[in-house]
Amino acid sequence: MMILRPIQQNDYAALLKIAHESGHGFTSLPLNEELLQKKIDHSVSSFAKQTSQPGDEGYLFVLEDTETGEVVGTSAIEAAVGLDDAFYHYHLSKVIHSSRTLDVYKAVDILTLCNDYTGATELCTLFLKDGYRKNCNGKLLSKARFMFIKQHEQRFAQTVIAEMRGVSDENGSSPFWQWLEEHFFSMDFPTADYLTGIGQKVFIAELMPKYPIYVNLLSKDAQAVIGKVHDNTRPAIELLKNEGFTFNGYVDIFDAGPTVEAKVDNIATIRNAKDFKVEIGEASGDTMVLLANGELENYRATVAALSFDERASSLILSQAIADALQLQSGDTVSATPV
């Protein structure tokens, strides 16, 4: 059985292995042992913290195969970004160059450096090991975060965003960054990405062009990847689109990958999930159901095949599922079909 739970101190070795496997462009898991330990410490303290509004909390989850005890994936939520360090994006928009006298009218795309998502809640750090990219594991990693937000809504902002990994090759080379590097920087994409991941962002403000960039002045390769995702990220962005997330022209400043956004009340899983009274019994059925308890530090979520009726007041779970979710008969479980 796959169970999603908050990360614990003894998951450090597993997180380090995931950081190794995630590769270039996965900024939120830098290959830095000290910072990975700090991420775990920060997550543990965030789950333990009592708060009624979003702040600098970071909630890091892991996906555990209960049969082997192996941690096979991770996902996270940042409660509010940009409150301590500036949170940068490029915004893709248009300017019009026109002259009635010359009978000229031309719409031109521009990229403008901005901090428009300051204070938003961010979904991040989603990674699943190769051998486990099947069944409903990816959906569990992603959607269980929405259940957590629903159950602890006061801890999060009304706008939720997700930065999607942009186009880069197997060596970590980004066509968009290559153009920026040539004109404004003297460091390769993996280095710039790593520095951002470890919190050294001051060089962005110091070296990034302050004025809008005309897209038609970029190289053809750079223009072609603006707002496009890495091949490995396609399933993740399709899942988010199905949840109600939209692309509104904001892209990453390094690889130009798209950032998608949604209001909490418009996210499908949050809107559709309902609470049921737990009954312990013979659980059977053919509907894949996302299940989550309502806990904070002891949050647990899984996906199971059940007989599901959203009009019912109770839901029958097997003893094994109830134990995995740390639930007893009469407790409340949140559920929605996957």
Q: Which residues are catalytic?
A: 230
CA separation for the pair 41, 94 (Å, rounded): 43
* Coil, helix or strand at residue 92: strand
Q: How many residues does the chain have?
A: 338
CA distances (Å), origin 113, targets 116, 251, 291 = 9, 10, 40
* Coil, helix or strand at residue 112: strand
Phi-psi region of 103 (alpha: psi -120 to 50; beta: other; left: phi over 0): left
CA distances (Å), origin 36, targets 9, 12, 70, 100, 197 = 11, 8, 18, 59, 11
Residue 7 CB: number of other CB atoms within 10 A?
Answer: 21
Please name which of 251, 308, 312, 158 lies closest in space to residue 321, comparing C-alpha atoms. 308
User: What's the helix, strand, coil split of the chain in %, to 5?
Assistant: 35, 30, 40
CA separation for the pair 78, 125 (Å, rounded): 10
Contact 240, 257 (CB under 8 A): no
| Four-point Cα dihedral 29, 32, 38, 42, nearest 10 | -10
Q: Tell me whether strands 121-128 and 159-163 are parallel, antiparallel or unpaired.
A: parallel
CA separation for the pair 139, 22 (Å, rounded): 18
